[in-house]
Amino acid sequence: MHRRGVGAGAIAKKKLAEAKYKERGTVLAEDQLAQMSKQLDMFKTNLEEFASKHKQEIRKNPEFRVQFQDMCATIGVDPLASGKGFWSEMLGVGDFYYELGVQIIEVCLALKHRNGGLITLEELHQQVLKGRGKFAQDVSQDDLIRAIKKLKALGTGFGIIPVSGTYLIQSVPAELNMDHTVVLQLAEKNGYVTVSDIKASLRWETERARQVLEHLLKEGLAWLDLQAPGEAHYWLPGLFTDLYSQEITAEEAREALP
């Protein structure tokens, strides 16, 4: 039986074919790859120089970090894509954000039983700062948002929901559509919402309002208060700190929260 594709003859033929291909089209690509390799080395040197002069600036100055990130985004570069990237290795931006990611996950996990996996950016910020301790570098809210955006790759259901002037951070894979988001935004003012509130502000029918509220209850994001005066109140623990900081002093808030 004559077998094809094996034996010295076949190997030689394959090499010839490869050589021919190389001659034709891929010579161009090979050239460019070599060029890229050279330019990469040069860029690495430039980056090292930049790092030696300005690495501190990035570490200490949140506004500079924002500018840096924006510029990278404009030209199509993600400095946080990999810990093995030049940016991360030489400027140290990577470790800063990846560690922040770990701290964010831990805070969200710790508070999940209380707020169902929904937390304001402000509370998250405070808790993260507390956890980092006195001597660690300060972080801004912008830093947190960037770290969270990266965490989405882990498939954990991290989400960022805009509400008046700030953001809610979702850390559990709960399905939240536009309706749910809008109700959350409505609830942000007082920390709770009622069916009447929804009907008045959003002009929805009762059934639509009820469905949204039931979903939030099921996902553990809302608590039902049947003893409230008038009608049932749906409270959102994730929004509580905002409420407290508006009407109660810091000291009392600290004592009130578990």
Partner 1 sequence: MIESKKHRPAASYTPLAGDVPTTKIKFDAGTLLLSTHRLIWRDQRNHECCMAIPLSQIVFIEEQAAGIGKSAKIVVHLHPAPPNKELGPLQSSKNSYIKLSFKEHGQIEFYRRLSEEMTQRRWENMPVSQSFQTNRGPQPGRIRAVGIVGIERKLEEKRKETDKNISEAFEDLSKLMVKAKEMVELSKSIANKIKDKQGDITEDETIRFKSYLLSMGIANPVTRETYGSGTQYHMQLAKQLAGILQAPLEERGGIMSLTEVYCLVNRARGMELLSPEDLVNACKMLEALKLPLRLRVFDSGVMVIELQSHKEEEMVASALETVSEKGSLTSEEFAKLVGMSVLLAKERLLLAEKMGHLCRDDSVEGLRFYPNLFMTQS
Binding to partner 1 (CB under 8 A) within 165-224 occurs at 172-173, 214, 217-218, 220, 224
Query: Tokens 């996990």 appear where?
Result: 109
Q: Rounded distance, CA 125 to CA 112, Å?
A: 15
> Shortest distance, CB of residue 120 to partner 1, whole angstroms?
12
Instruction: Note whether 160 and 145 are within 8 A (CB).
Output: yes
233 forms part of the interface with partner 1 (CB under 8 A): no
116 forms part of the interface with partner 1 (CB under 8 A): no
Q: Which of helix, strand or coil describes residue 175?
A: coil
> Shortest distance, CB of residue 162 to partner 1, whole angstroms?
19
Instruction: Note whether 132 and 100 are within 8 A (CB).
Output: no
Residues 47-106, interacting with partner 1 (CB under 8 A): 47, 50, 53-54, 57, 60-62, 64, 67-68, 71-72, 74-89, 94-95, 98-99, 101-102, 105-106
Q: Which of helix, strand or coil describes residue 28?
A: helix
The upper half-sphere exposure of residue 178, i.e. CA atoms within 13 Å in the direction of its Cβ, equals 1
Complex with partner 1: residue 3 or 134, whichever CB lies closer: 134
> By rule CB under 8 A, what string of x and - marks binding of each residue 125-164 to partner 1?
xx--xx-x-x---xxxx--------xxxxxxxx-------
38 forms part of the interface with partner 1 (CB under 8 A): no
Instruction: Note whether 198 and 183 are within 8 A (CB).
Output: yes
Complex with partner 1: residue 10 or 22, whichever CB lies closer: 22
Which secondary structure element, helix H or strand E, spans residue 118, and what is its range?
strand 118-120
Complex with partner 1: residue 3 or 72, whichever CB lies closer: 72
Single out the residue of 33, 110, 145, 200 in contact with partner 1 (rule: CB under 8 A). 33
Closest CA to 220 of 235, 206, 199: 235
> Shortest distance, CB of residue 2 to partner 1, whole angstroms?
27
Kind of pairing between the strands at 233-235 and 223-225: antiparallel
